[in-house]
Amino acid sequence: MPTPPAPSPRPPAADPEATARTDAHATAAAPVVSSVSPSSGPAGTAVVITGSGLTGATQVRFGTALSSFTVVSDTQINATVPTGSGTVQITVTTPNGTSTQNVTFTYGTATAPTLASLSPASGPAGGGNTVVLTGTGFTGATQVLFGATPAPSFTVNSPTQITATAPAGSGSVPVKVTTPGGGSNTLTYTYVSGPAISSLSPSAGPQAGGNTVVITGTNLANTTSVHFGATSVAFTVLSGTQVSAVAPPGTGSVNVNVTTPGGTSNNLTYTYSAIPTVGTVSPGQGPTAGGTTVMITGTGFTGATQVLFGTTPALSFTVNSATQITATAPPGVAGAVAVNVVTPGGTSGPGAFYFYVAPPALTSLAPPSGPANGGNTVVINGLNLTLTTAVHIGAASVPFTVLNDSQVSFAAPPGTGTANVNVTTPGGTSNNLTYTYMAAPALSGLNPNLGPESGGTVVTVTGTNLATTTSVHFGVVSAAYTVLSDTQLTAVAPPGTGTTNVNVTATGGTSNNLTFTYVPPPG
């Protein structure tokens, strides 16, 4: 505070310069004191004097007692009440004169301060945070105590407010303000352990943000803010160990931390993921029963949480790399479905399709049997045969020709007995049909073995494997016949001359030849 100067004697009237100064002072307005706040209190009280023309003040008096003071502006002076008693007038002296307004200050007995609130009422064990104390009678405060520990620093903002820096401490402690009037009541200030976070779920998300992240840790009940990088985000305290927060938009990786009255936690990394893309699916088709292993290629597959075939999740999948996933197709209905990959970055757009193929179904073989030496053409009748990839007869895979969606033909290989025939397509393997290998017929006798050249003779043919006979030939002429059993048939000899070979063709092939003789009419 400035020290008031001693009064100077008035210069002699004959001094021209002194006369000029006196004239200048006479023309300038004297200072005006309009109020003092507070207007009462003990010596040592800090007061604010307001008025006008206060610039350059050289003296502030409370009655006759000089006060230490600071000129804040032309309209304000901060002063400290000097020792005194009763009610006294406050005057301010400047080079322009001394105020004359009857603004008074009343000396009174100092009263103890009172504390009404602390904000915040808790803080970190390490201290250093700012606490605002509100109450009354703070003027001239000499100490702020947190328990037995003085605040490292404090500022009396007004008779009703103090800003203090909390010291380090632990547990709960009483806070007290001391002024010349005594000590205040106490309010409780709690030292809070700092938060610590251990996990983020999920730890990655879309660049557009907006997803909910659950932060797990300790001492989170009094969370005051959550930051993703430099961004403060909306959050909800779930418990003392969990807080949920809404991730903001971002790219790359950012630190996530939590702030409570106990301080700011450690950092955990949150990664912004790009939306994945699906480029190819191989194979691109499979049975409606599912189970096919499919290789999916694309981008952004790291951290994939789901692979979808249409709306159905894959039975299982493995992320091989950021660009490749192996998945097992689920069951589906015949037709095409989009294959999509879901990651923390989002769900891929429709980029590739997988076709569910209905399984083939066989209804008949034409013929259902054939010669043991094979070579005959067999037509398979059924459904969903267009995509046939293999035809099996027994254990043998045979060449085939797809005729249409309901027919496939193949040349029967040699064989014996019966064999299962089935068809394989991307939709699976069909049911089995039975194909029978037949032995070739063998002839042992003709009765009679001769007849007139005009034909018409009924010939009984005996042998074996005749049940499936398809033709009887006399030479090159096909004759009418009737199958009597697997060992006998009758045939009507056509016209002819000389001798001719007789044979039988059945499913198993063509028999050996027997000789039939044509007899000319008597001459």
Question: Tell me, what's the pLDDT at 27?
Answer: 58
Whether the per-residue pLDDT at 22 is higher than 80: the answer is no
Going by pLDDT thresholds of 50, 70 and 90, the confidence category of residue 354 is very high
Structure tokens at 483: 């199958």
Homologous superfamily, domain 361-438:
Immunoglobulins (2.60.40.10)
Before 120, cis peptide (omega within 30)? yes
Candidates 3.40.50.300, 3.40.50.720, 3.40.50.1580, 2.60.40.10; correct CATH number of 196-273?
2.60.40.10
Q: Tell me: the pLDDT tens digits for 486-511?
A: 999 999 999 999 999 999 999 899 99
Rg (CA), the chain: 57
Q: Look up residue 274 and give its DSSP letter.
A: P
Question: Tell me, what's the pLDDT at 45?
Answer: 81
Neighbours of 248 (CB within 10 A): 18
* Phi, then psi, of 26 in degrees rounded to 5: -65, -30
- Return the beta strands (E) in 53-86 as ranges: 59-62, 65-66, 69-73, 76-80
Kindly write down the DSSP assignment for every residue of 350-389, as one continuous string. Answer: S--EEEEEPPPEEEEEESSEEETT---EEEEEEES-TT--
Question: Tell me, what's the pLDDT at 250?
Answer: 94
Q: What is the mean pLDDT of residues 314-342?
A: 96
Could you say which architecture CATH assigns to the domain 277-356? Sandwich (2.60)
- Best CA proximity match to 42, nearest among 10, 81, 13: 81
Residue-wise over 142-154: b if at least 16 C-beta within 10 A, else e?
A: eebbbbeeebeeb
Q: What is the mean pLDDT of residues 358-385?
A: 94
d(CA 386, CA 406): 7
- Best CA proximity match to 133, nearest among 148, 149, 144, 147: 144
Topology given in CATH for the domain delimited by 114-192:
Immunoglobulin-like (2.60.40)
Q: Tell me: the pLDDT tens digits for 167-196?
A: 999 999 999 999 877 899 999 999 988 899
d(CA 175, CA 183): 10
Who contacts 276 (Cβ-Cβ below 8 Å, separation ≥6)?
A: 298, 299, 300, 301, 304, 341, 342, 343, 345, 346, 347, 348
Whether the per-residue pLDDT at 115 is higher than 80: the answer is yes
Question: Tell me, what's the pLDDT at 487?
Answer: 97
- Best CA proximity match to 323, nearest among 302, 308, 350: 302
Question: Tell me, what's the pLDDT at 40?
Answer: 82
- Best CA proximity match to 255, nearest among 271, 243, 245, 269: 269
Between the CA atoms of 277, 283, 288 and 292, what dihedral angle is there, to the nearest 10 degrees? -100
Show the CA angle centred on residue 385, arms to residues 381 and 389, nearest 5°. 120
Tell me the pLDDT of the chain averaged across its residues.
92
Q: Where are the domains of the chain?
A: 32-107, 114-192, 196-273, 277-356, 361-438, 442-519
Q: Does domain 32-107 have CATH number 2.60.40.10?
A: yes
Classify 442-519 by CATH class.
mainly beta
Q: What is the mean pLDDT of residues 412-427?
A: 95
Q: What is the mean pLDDT of residues 359-387?
A: 94
Structure tokens at 85: 């008693």
Whether the per-residue pLDDT at 12 is higher than 60: the answer is no
Whether the per-residue pLDDT at 19 is higher than 50: the answer is no
Q: What is the mean pLDDT of residues 389-398?
A: 95
Q: What is the mean pLDDT of residues 5-16?
A: 45
Residue 16: strand, helix, or coil:
helix
From residue 304, alpha-carbon distances to 113, 210, 212, 341, 362 in Å are 64, 19, 17, 7, 41
Q: What is the mean pLDDT of residues 50-71?
A: 96
The answer to whether the 361-438 and 442-519 domains have the same CATH topology is: yes
Who contacts 57 (Cβ-Cβ below 8 Å, separation ≥6)?
A: 31, 69, 71, 77, 92, 93, 94
pTM of the model: 0.54
298 contacts 323 by C-beta, under 8 angstroms: yes
d(CA 436, CA 447): 31
